[in-house]
Structure 1
Amino acid sequence: MPGECIKPNFNQNYKGIRCRVYLVSENVNDERISLCNSDAVYSLVRDELASSDRERLLSLMLTTKNDLIGVETVYIGSMNSCVITPKDVMKAPLLANAASIILCHNHPSGDPEPSSHDLQITKVLIEAGELLGIKVLDHLIVTSRGYRSLRECSDDQIKFPN
């Protein structure tokens, strides 16, 4: 049973209680959040990312119909950097059995233009996702003044899956 406590045999070397913890995924709200465009994504993450004074990377995990499964804070960095690896980003979507993800991170400077590192890591994550069967649908850069969708502005620099 969830939260069931098991009392071990007490002996002279050990006195305590061991508890089994069960991780349960429950949808506490029957309302589905469908993320079908970058404006919907921005509306969802704006409050969390736009006012942050440090770079933060979120992974929005989605079903095959682009319904939101969950949001994972992958990393919280410094004022101007966020060092991540594909393993960091793909762990939660794999465990959640997500079909796809949308990445979102902020630029505390207020400039929504992607850096060369933003473009490079997005390409690497798309390739990693292809190997794992998880589509990287977009990568949004969020600021207090708006956002930039790499899918919409990359001019064929980045090949996002359909």
Structure 2
Amino acid sequence: MQLLEKNYVPLVRIHAVKEQNLPYGKRQLNTTQEVVEFSGQLLKDADREYVLVLSVDTKCAPVGIEVVSIGTLNQALIEPREIFKHAVLSNALGVFIIHNHPSGDVTPSTEDRLVTERLENAGKILGIKVLDHIILGEYGTFYSLAEEKRREMELCQQM
């Protein structure tokens, strides 16, 4: 009797695993400054670039934060699948992308701007809004790409 070859597909279950809880003192993060203060706890002594994703629910309350990339002194890999995997598993409505510049200079690079646009487009497809991409520097300095966009819109409206 000849044995029939069978192909098998693994049955999988995917879920997020909570590693620890971080105190943040508020139910909601309503301002860029609040997001910076909260996420800055994780990046204050970083000697290389880290990329965090802070996922929030419909009321802008954090549902999870994850380190999605650890890079080098001046770059870190940011892939949409890694950013949004966390958000999907957390049932998030939106995400804040946060990364640091160990040099202390918060000026966004061309790559920072391009990846932000790419992530915004990917988020639209998934129904998860990229609320901001924030670059952290030294001593609490930061740069918000969302605030930059709002300033540009205000200038255009004045013309």
- Indicate whether the TM-score tops 0.5: yes
Residue 149 (structure 1) aligned to one of 140, 144, 152: 144
Residue 109 (structure 2) aligned to one of 107, 115, 118: 115
For structure 1, list consecutive stretches of 5 or more residues without a partner in the other structure: 1-21, 157-162
Q: CA RMSD in A?
A: 2.3
Query: 2:16 and 2:125 mapped to 1: Cα distance?
Result: 27
For structure 2, list consecutive stretches of 5 or more residues without a partner in the other structure: 1-14, 154-159
Query: 1:23 and 1:122 mapped to 2: Cα distance?
Result: 25
Q: Does 1:106 pair with 2:106?
A: no
1:151 aligned partner, one-letter code:
A
Residue 64 (structure 1) aligned to one of 41, 58, 62: 58
Partner of 2:67: helix, strand, or coil?
strand
* TM-score, normalising length: structure 2: 0.77
Count of aligned positions: 134
**Residue 11 of structure 2: aligned partner:** none
Partner of 1:144: helix, strand, or coil?
coil
Q: Any residues of structure 2 matched to 1:31-46 within 5 Å, and which?
A: 33-46=27-40
Q: Which has the higher helix share?
A: 2
Q: Does 1:136 pair with 2:138?
A: no
Partner of 2:27: helix, strand, or coil?
coil
Aligned-residue identity in percent: 37
Partner of 1:53: helix, strand, or coil?
coil
Give structure 1 regions of 4+ aligned residues with deviation exceeding 6 angstroms. 22-25
Q: Does 1:127 pair with 2:121?
A: yes
Query: 1:114 and 1:121 mapped to 2: Cα distance?
Result: 11
**Residue 87 of structure 1: aligned partner:** 81
Post-superposition shift, 1:33?
3.1
Query: 1:32 and 1:153 mapped to 2: Cα distance?
Result: 26
